[in-house]
Every structure is written in structure tokens, then in C-alpha cells.
């Protein structure tokens, strides 16, 4: 039972650690309408770093909130079998929300970090599904160094945004 708790908690906390900072930039001057149009035209197409970090933070918050309701079901032997599809859906939904902007991210370093996190999540989720409820195999899957390191780079990059 402790193993399952540790596994579920670690899985949810993993991306909780990736929370990005959401700070407002300070305006240093008021741009003229012509300058704003020029800046907008010169800006690279895609999702900017601040918007991406806001979306990443929301995805992580949703995962933590919904996970708090699902984890007790996963830990209860009477509800565990029914909760596994809920947990899988939660992780799948999280993956979709977390990777929502990846194809349009203007910041190449943040894009690479999110792609690496998504790859680690795919690998970990596949291993969890393949474990077929075997707590030791699930623990091994999410204890992999790549899975454990997921979110760290995104957190660092978003904190600097």
C-alpha cells in the first residue's frame, strides 16, 4: 500500500514541481502606435514564452487538483480497478494540455524542454500501463531518471520568463 501511495504521489508531484513563474513584465515606456505595429510585424510567429508558461502552469494545477481526487481511489483496493482508467485519462488530458503549445512555441529552448517532458511522460505512462497493476513495476517505471527529471528544465526556463 505504501508503494502505491509513493508511486501515485510521485507521479502527480513530478509535474507539480514543474510549475512556472507567472510574473508580470514591467513596462519601461509607452510605445507609439507605429512602434507597436513594427514590433508586432518583426516578432516571430508562435506562442511566446510567457503565454506558454501560463498554459503550462494551468495544466500542472489542473493535474494536481484532479489528481487529489483520483489518488485516494487508486489507493483503495475496492476502487482501484475503476480508478486506473480515470488516472490514465487524467494523465492523457494533462499531456494534451501540457503539450498544447509545443508546435508553436517561439522559444526553442522551452520547446525542447516541453518535448523532452512529453517524451518522458509517454515512456513512463507506457511502462505504467504495461505493468498491469504490478506496484513494483509501476514504481520502477516512474523511478526512471528521465521520468524523475521531467519538468525541471521547464521550471527553470519559466522562472526566468
Q: Which of the two residues, 120 and 36, has the higher pLDDT score?
A: 120
Q: Tell me: the pLDDT tens digits for 39-84?
A: 333 344 578 999 999 999 889 889 889 988 988 887 777 888 888 8
Please report the pLDDT score of residue 146 as a whole number: 78
Q: Please state the rounded mean pLDDT for residues 130-140.
A: 76
Identify the sign of the CA torsion 68, 71, 73, 76: negative
State the CB neighbour count (10 A cutoff) for residue 107.
20
Give Cβ neighbours of residue 161 (< 8 Å, ≥ 6 apart). Answer: 20, 21, 23, 49, 50, 53
Least confident span in 33-37, 66-70, 88-92? 33-37
DSSP 3-state percent helix, strand, coil across the chain (nearest 5): 75, 0, 25
Amino acid at each position: 500500500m505504501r508503494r502505491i501511495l509513493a508511486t501515485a504521489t510521485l507521479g502527480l508531484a513530478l509535474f507539480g514541481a514543474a510549475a512556472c513563474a507567472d510574473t508580470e513584465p514591467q513596462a519601461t515606456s509607452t510605445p507609439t502606435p507605429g512602434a507597436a505595429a513594427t514590433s508586432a510585424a518583426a516578432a516571430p510567429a508562435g506562442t511566446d514564452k510567457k503565454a506558454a508558461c501560463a498554459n503550462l502552469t494551468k495544466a500542472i494545477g489542473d493535474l494536481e487538483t484532479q489528481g487529489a481526487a483520483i489518488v485516494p481511489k487508486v489507493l483503495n483496493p475496492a476502487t482501484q480497478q475503476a480508478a486506473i482508467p480515470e488516472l490514465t485519462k487524467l494523465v492523457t488530458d494533462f499531456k494534451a494540455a501540457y503539450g498544447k503549445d509545443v508546435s508553436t512555441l517561439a522559444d526553442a529552448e522551452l520547446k525542447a524542454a516541453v518535448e523532452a517532458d512529453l517524451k518522458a511522460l509517454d515512456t513512463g505512462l507506457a511502462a505504467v500501463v504495461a505493468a498491469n497493476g504490478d506496484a513494483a513495476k509501476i514504481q520502477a517505471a516512474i523511478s526512471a531518471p528521465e521520468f524523475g527529471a521531467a519538468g525541471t528544465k521547464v521550471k527553470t526556463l519559466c522562472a526566468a520568463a
